[in-house]
Amino acid sequence: MTKIEVLGSGCSNCIRLEKNAREAVAALGVDAEIVKVTDYAEIMAYGVMSTPGLVIDGRVVSVGRVPSAGDITGWLSE
């Protein structure tokens, strides 16, 4: 199962990013778990300073921007 982590304190951008991630997962029909990471120590452990960040299976794919559902679909099918 794919693990998708949305890094951020819960600002509007993090919410948009989470929504896009859900869309991407639904579009591909993959088995994925979406987790919100709000703890700063954990966020920093990924080396992410500008939120929101997106982590797929432990790999940081995006920081400081809200990628579209299409972008996320691309990363998920890599």
Partner 1 sequence: MTSIALRRARLPFRAGVTLAATAWLVAWLAEAPLSDWLTFSVLGLERGSHLGEAVAFFLLDVPKVLLLLVGIITVVTLIRGFFPPERVRAALAGRGTLTGSVAAAAFGIVTPFCSCSAVPLFIGFVEAGIPLGVTFAFLISSPMVNEVALVLLWGLFGPGIALVYMAAGLTVAIVGGLVIGRLGMERYVEDYVWALQGKAGAVVEIRLGWDDRIRDAWAYTKELVRRIAPYLLVGIGIGALIHGYAPTELVAAIGGRSNPLAVPIVVLIALPLYSNAAGTIPIVQALLGKGMPLGTTLAFMMAITAISLPEFIILRRVIRWPLIATFATVVTIGVLFIGYLFNALIP
> Contact positions toward partner 1, by CB under 8 A?
8-9, 11-13, 40-41, 43-51, 60-66, 68, 70-71, 73-74
d(CA 47, CA 27): 29
Which of 34, 46 has the CB closer to partner 1?
A: 46
Which of 34, 68 has the CB closer to partner 1?
A: 68
The reply to whether 14 belongs to the active site is: yes
Radius of gyration for the alpha carbons in the chain, expressed in angstroms and rounded: 11
φ/ψ of 58, rounded to 5, equals 80, -5
Catalytic positions:
11, 14
